Amino acid sequence: MKESSLQTSQIGASGVLLIQYRLLKCGIESAPMTTDAGIDLVAYSPKKKGAVTIQVKTCLRPKPAGGKGRASLDWWLPKASPVDLVGLVNLEDDQAWLLRRSEFVARAQQQPMGRLHLFFYTDPNYPARKGCHERDFEPFRIDSRMGDIFGLPEISN
């Protein structure tokens, strides 16, 4: 994905669809919300017999940290977000991570003015401090969370 003519709303919608697709691929039904109340999807786990709410945050591609640094992905979430889960998406590589809200809060590196900011570096050779590199988020890849969150076995891409 070099240059993109996607609008911000299209980037966000693409991220929601990617998360929804990955859930459906694992047998998890989900439905988008019709209004933006901070919840993008409601997903139902037949194994756990319960529904969870998901807010999806999407990056089109990694960008330089701070405008001049190493390639990174970053997402913002309101501290008061009512969701159970946060889906994080990198559209450039169709990557998706799924964190419980409490996991997002615990890993957010910054918390200015009622918002949580989580980021990580994507350059595989960059020796970022622990918790700030893509490799630190491997356990949160969406396919690895199916058992933990929805009671289903992991799947391979």
Average pLDDT for the chain: 91
Residue the block writes with tokens 């409601």: 42
The average pLDDT across 85-113 equals: 95
* Percentage of the chain modeled with pLDDT above 70: 95
pLDDT of residue 155: 60
The average pLDDT across 134-140 equals: 95
Q: Are 89 and 59 in contact (CB under 8 A)?
A: yes
Domains and CATH numbers, the chain: 8-148 (3.40.1350.10)
Q: Buried (b) or exposed (e) across 111-147, using 16+ Cβ within 10 A? A: eeeeebebbbbbeeeeebeeebbbeebeebbbeebbe
Give per-residue pLDDT as tens, 31-90.
999 887 889 999 998 888 899 999 999 999 999 988 888 999 999 999 999 999 999 999
Write the single-letter amino acid at 88.
Answer: L
Return the structure tokens found at 138: 């491997």
Does residue 93 surpass a pLDDT of 70? Answer: yes
Q: Are 92 and 1 in contact (CB under 8 A)?
A: yes
Residue the block writes with tokens 């799947």: 155
Answer whether 0.85 is exceeded by the pTM. Answer: yes
Residue the block writes with tokens 């988008």: 32
Does residue 157 surpass a pLDDT of 80? Answer: no
Give per-residue pLDDT as tens, 10-24.
999 999 999 999 999
pLDDT of residue 154: 59
